Amino acid sequence: MNFGEVGEMLRRGTVAISGHGRAGQGSGIVWEAGGLIVTNAHVVAGAANTVTMWDGRKFAARVLTRDARRDLALLEVNASALPMIPRGRDGSPRAGELVIAVGNPLGFAGALSTGVVHAVGPVPGLGPREWVQADVRLAPGNSGGPLADAEGRLAGINTMVIAPGRRALGLSIPAAAVEQFLRHGPDQRSLGVTVRAVRGGLLLLEVEPGRPADRASLLAGDLILSAAAARMRTPGDLSVALDQAAGTLEIEFLRGGASPRRVTVAFPPARASAA
């Protein structure tokens, strides 16, 4: 296929996702032709979501599973024979490799951007997880869309933009991490929260009902000061604390103008999975 054909194939396998309540506008990829869609968890923060296909068809989407920590979600729509984005890359993209990002930034359907991979690995302040770091142009609405190689094979899920210097870099969740999420489900060592770094700690923006943080009575608006006695300055600090946690995690937090409180968050036991 030539570049134009690759771009058209990627556009057909990319969907627009709109939601209600706190959910915003984003993108997703067709994972299975029978109606499975993968996107970022922050794109589907609300319960009601609508998926729009490349040809304008709209479908109500049901959230099958959501992992706020890994920022991934799996949706289902009542459709069949949907165009898929090819998978099957052998490993993550390498530095210097050409990649293509597709999404729906700022309401522009099927926008395409090309760039070069700078690195694959952890990003300071975001914890130990790996990211595909590329100089593709991303904007609000690109989240959840595909990052593909020059042959159109999925390399990652576009998630956010950072600006370590004068030039912004797009961060994408590697395709291998998406596969792991779909095989094993949400990370059991997850609080089920959305956080933002502020002066003094991590502000809880959202607490998912029924998840460990909710069961420990943490609320949106609480300020996490420390976890496992380690000060919380970035979301990466919390990710490290969760990675090191066994069955529980002690959290110190502030609520309103009261004195700091402590709570122990308990995680469900790890689920066995087939090799």
Write out the residue range of the structural domain in which residue 124 sits. 98-184
In a domain, 258, yes or no: yes
80 is catalytic: no
Of 77, 109, 143, which residue is a domain's last?
77
Which of 18, 27, 92, 143 is flagged as catalytic? 143
Task: Work out whether strand 248-254 and strand 261-266 pair parallel, antiparallel, or are unpaired.
Answer: antiparallel
Q: Does 37 share its domain with 114?
A: no
Q: Does 136 share its domain with 200?
A: no
Q: Does 215 share its domain with 238?
A: yes
Q: Which amino acid is at 109?
A: A
Q: Does 229 share its domain with 253?
A: yes
pLDDT tens digits for the chain (275 residues)? 788 899 999 999 999 998 764 445 899 999 999 999 999 988 987 668 999 999 999 999 999 988 878 889 999 999 999 999 998 777 788 999 999 999 998 878 888 999 999 999 988 878 788 999 999 988 888 999 999 999 999 999 999 988 765 678 999 999 999 998 998 887 777 888 888 889 999 999 988 888 889 999 999 999 999 999 999 998 888 988 988 887 899 999 999 878 999 999 988 765 533 32
Q: What is the pLDDT of residue 4?
A: 87
Of 184, 209, 232, which residue is a domain's last?
184
In a domain, 66, yes or no: yes
In a domain, 87, yes or no: no
In a domain, 86, yes or no: no
Q: What is the pLDDT of residue 164?
A: 62
Q: Does 172 share its domain with 114?
A: yes
List, as own/partner pairs, every contact residues 218-224 make where C-beta atoms lie below 8 angstroms and the sequence separation is at least 24, other chains included.
218/191, 218/193, 218/251, 218/253, 218/263, 218/265, 219/255, 221/255, 222/253, 222/254, 222/255, 223/198, 223/253, 223/254, 223/255, 224/195, 224/251, 224/252, 224/253
In a domain, 82, yes or no: no
143 is catalytic: yes
**CATH number for 234:** 2.30.42.10
Q: Which amino acid is at 268?
A: P
Which of 18, 27, 71, 190 is flagged as catalytic? 71
Q: Does 174 share its domain with 234?
A: no
Which of 27, 42, 187, 226 is flagged as catalytic? 42
Q: Does 209 share its domain with 229?
A: yes
In a domain, 245, yes or no: yes
Of 144, 160, 184, which residue is a domain's last?
184
In a domain, 271, yes or no: no
- Token pair 């700690």: residue: 201
**CATH number for 10:** 2.40.10.10
Q: Does 180 share its domain with 223?
A: no
Q: Does 212 share its domain with 162?
A: no
In a domain, 83, yes or no: no
Q: Does 179 share its domain with 201?
A: no
pTM higher than 0.75: yes
Q: Does 168 share its domain with 205?
A: no
Question: What is the total count of domains within the chain?
Answer: 3
**Best CA proximity match to 182, nearest among 72, 19, 262, 63:** 72
- Token pair 């993209």: residue: 93
65/273 Cα distance (integer angstroms): 17
Q: Does 132 share its domain with 167?
A: yes
